[in-house]
């Protein structure tokens, strides 16, 4: 599966809404769909599913503020 599909599936599970797949520019933190605990859950799930090393220290909220930004960030990590 592509990083995009995996990110959207995990985001939908963690946020409890399919809106993340419908609007890739949805502001996750501003809409209270993602918080620090949810972000940690997402990091763990994506690390396991994509086989990349993600450290919470290297990720800031602005980088992961929308589904589109998370996908773009992870696509660079998967290729690296």
In degrees, rounded to 5, the angle at the alpha carbon of residue 76 between the alpha carbons of residues 69 and 65 is 15
Which option is the CATH number for 3-79: 1.20.1730.10, 1.10.1200.10, 1.10.260.40, 3.30.450.40?
Answer: 1.10.1200.10
Q: Which residues contact 60 (CB under 8 A, 6 or more apart)?
A: none
pLDDT tens for residues 17-59? 999 999 999 999 999 999 999 999 999 999 999 999 998 898 9
Domain boundaries, the chain: 3-79
* pLDDT classification of 1: cutoffs 50, 70, 90: confident
């Amino acid at each position: 599966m592509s990083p995009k599909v995996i990110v959207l599936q995990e985001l939908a599970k963690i946020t409890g809404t399919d809106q993340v797949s419908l609007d890739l520019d949805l502001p996750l933190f501003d809409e209270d769909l993602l918080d620090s605990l949810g972000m940690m859950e997402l990091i763990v799930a994506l690390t396991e599913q994509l086989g990349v090393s993600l450290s919470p220290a290297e990720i800031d909220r602005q980088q992961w503020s929308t589904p589109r930004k998370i996908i773009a960030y992870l696509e660079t990590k998967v290729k690296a």
